[in-house]
Chains A and B, each alone.
Chain A
Amino acid sequence: EIVLAQSPGTLSLSPGERATLSCRASQSVSTSYLAWYQQKPGQAPRLLIYGASSRATGIPDRFSGSGSGTDFTLTISRLEPEDFAVYYCQHCGDIKETFGQGTKVEI
């Protein structure tokens, strides 16, 4: 079973700053299977990144994903007020799919 560990748990930043979120897998995973989601309070998650680095339709280019093997990163180049939310990585594409525990990006 693949376990995804996200860090940090909470990231306190200001608008305009750069956010770097980490997702570490317990064993090597295919980049094809790694996705990132954003969730705001009271809302469903929204797909940001799939295939570790491909932006989903309509996602601003300030969001980027990278990584391979066991280490993956979501970067928000310049935080906008609407980017303060919880972010989850996901291993999607196996017979058992898992989510990381989430990183909260707060002001």
Chain B
Amino acid sequence: QVQLQESGPGLVKPSETLSLTCTVSGGSISSYYWSWIRQPPGKGLEWIGYIYYSGSTSYNPSLKSRVTISVDTSKNQFSLKLNSVTAADTAVYYCARRVEVGGYFYYMDVWGKGTTVSVSS
């Protein structure tokens, strides 16, 4: 079955760029949307954005000026870059598969285990 694995630095300095990669195994990245979601310590889930395998994207307006999501179909990976980070960006970052069924149902059915990123000098 499809599995997702996040990878990247666990510590990022303030004002620098957070970079994470999600590797898709057990299936193809094609024909799906792929999402990033984060969860600050002790808080709820925040949607960051998603990308279609062809490259089209949608971002949370509150983060849009700092976020870039990209896809590399040859590696079955997609990535997140968040620039100018502050302590408020400290969170567990999840990647997930976003499914559209017949243009009618929409949901995230496969999630990575998450990776903790702390922003600190």
Q: Does A32 contact B (CB under 8 A)?
A: yes
Contact of A33 (CB < 8 Å), options: B47, B106, B108: B106
Q: Which residues of A contact B (CB under 8 A)?
A: 1, 32-33, 35, 37, 39, 43-47, 50-51, 54, 56, 88, 90, 92-93, 95-102
- Secondary structure of the B contact surface, majority rule: strand
Chain B residues whose CB sits within 8 angstroms of the CB of A44 once the complex forms:
94, 111-114
Chain B proximity of A50: nearest CB distance (Å) = 4
Chain B residues whose CB sits within 8 angstroms of the CB of A35 once the complex forms:
106-108
Chain A proximity of B49: nearest CB distance (Å) = 9
Interface size on B, residues (CB 8 A): 23
Chain A residues whose CB sits within 8 angstroms of the CB of B98 once the complex forms:
92
Cα–Cα distance between A93 and B107 once the two chains are bound (Å): 7
Select the residue from A47, A54, A93, A97 with max chain B CB neighbours within 10 A: A97
